[in-house]
Amino acid sequence: MKVSVQAVAVWEKIAPSHSITAIMITDDQQTIVTGSQEGQICLWDLSSELKISSKEILFGHTASVTCLAKARE
């Protein structure tokens, strides 16, 4: 079975000032999580029409975020 996936830009006309180093999508496919070279973790809402809007930026890491993982319940 062949599955096609549409490419999605995570920003509008101007790219963010941070460099994305890790990316993950939640199981419900409604949130994208990105980690950056500057140590930020960003949460993005993903609509069913594949429109992306920023949700939250988490600060506090002192090094680059190079890996993201989901926690088990």
Higher pLDDT, 50 or 10: 50
Q: Does the pTM exceed 0.75? A: no
Which residues pair with residue 34 across a beta bridge?
23, 42
Higher pLDDT, 8 or 27: 27
60 φψ region: left (φ > 0), alpha (ψ -120 to 50), beta (else):
left
Cα 65 to Cα 20: distance, rounded to the nearest angstrom: 9
- Mean pLDDT on 46-64: 85
Q: Confidence class of residue 2 from pLDDT cuts 50, 70 and 90?
A: low
**Residue 37 — φ and ψ, nearest 5°?**
-65, -25
* Mean pLDDT of the residues in the chain: 81
